[in-house]
Amino acid sequence: MAAPIAFVSRTTDANEAEWIRVLAAALPTETILPFRSMSAEERDLAEIAIVANPDPADIAQLKGLRWIHSLWAGVERLVAELGADAPPIVRLTDPELSRVMAEAVLAWTYYLHRDMPAYRDHQSKRIWAELEYRHPQDVTVGLMGLGTLGTQAAKRLQQAGFHTIGWSRSHKVIEGVETFSGDAGLTQLLAESDILVCLLPLTAETRGLLNGARFSEMKTGASIINFARGAVIVSDDLLAALAEGQLSHAVLDVFEKEPLEQESPFWQHPNVTVLPHISAPTNRQTAAHIVADNIRSWRQTGTLPATVDMSRGY
């Protein structure tokens, strides 16, 4: 029996079936089976698992697993749940996802730059008032995270004329973008940003990184966009910074608990825009082709693209 590929997820049957249909079309010589329908023999034979939020207990049953391909770019939950002994994990690195995220960063940067929350508020109060226009070059957008997504977002913002700066763990060179690293670099980025965009992975180092002390390093009245993971921000500290006017607005696409709980103060907050984790959805078609290329390449050469560094957490 040829080794089948296991598809392991905690999504709905319909969503799983659709993924398998698109993946099978991209990999016509492979057999991709939903984990639940696999026999004990098939589970023993599987060397590759394609996963979307899998149950770690299911992964543990695939004894011959050589590597895992995630259908998502963010692998923080997978890393936490599978632990250090997990087989190598390849995450989704899709130029289309980077394009969609860069589009979202630009869209919500414009939302803040062109004062849409304030004009919406004025409309609700029947206030006819013109706010001062700021040229993009006079607005500094600071990106936290200059990886696959952050780099594209930085380029898009820079092309749109915003003064763009960025921060990452290792030093990065991006034309037209001033870049920082290290703790002093973060302090500088926070001090200069009018709009701060978070595209950091959630790791032991970034959990709670944006807290009251960091908010107080920012310009009074600056705003924040979080498209990364909810737990990078300390929610209570964010609410305090908004109440004090230290921050003027937060666009939040991600939350510690999703869906956002009904009782969350963010829902009704006049200075918070709540989005339901939609900034960069995976595109099934482009993702399936990238997964297929990686699987074909491994079958032919035994090599994998860069895998997740489990000790770093991303």
Rounded least distance, CB 51 to ligand NAP, Å: 15
Which CB sits closer to ligand NAP, 33 or 79? 79
Q: What single-letter amino acid sits at 115?
A: D
Which CB sits closer to ligand NAP, 76 or 115? 76
Rounded least distance, CB 64 to ligand NAP, Å: 28
Rounded least distance, CB 277 to ligand NAP, Å: 5
Among candidate residues 6, 18, 123, 104, the one with its CA nearest the CA of residue 54: 6
Please list, in sequence order, all residues whose beta carbon lies within 8 angstroms of the beta carbon of residue 296, skipping any fewer than 6 positions away: 27
Which CB sits closer to ligand NAP, 148 or 235? 148
Which CB sits closer to ligand NAP, 32 or 193? 193
Tokens standing for residue 139? 């607005």
Q: Is 229 a catalytic residue?
A: yes
For residue 97, list its beta bridge partners. none
d(CA 20, CA 94): 18
CB 306 within 8 A of CB 314: no
Kindly list the residues in this chain that would bind ligand NAP in the complex (CB under 6 A): 73-74, 76, 145-150, 168-170, 199-203, 205-206, 227-229, 253-254, 277, 279-280, 314
Q: What single-letter amino acid sits at 79?
A: V
Please list, in sequence order, all residues whose beta carbon lies within 8 angstroms of the beta carbon of residue 303, skipping any fewer than 6 positions away: 297
Rounded least distance, CB 89 to ligand NAP, Å: 12
Catalytic residue among 43, 214, 229, 249: 229
Burial label for 236, CB within 10 Å (0-12, 13-18, 19+), is exposed
Q: Is 10 a catalytic residue?
A: no
Catalytic residue among 269, 277, 284, 299: 277
Active site residues: 229, 277
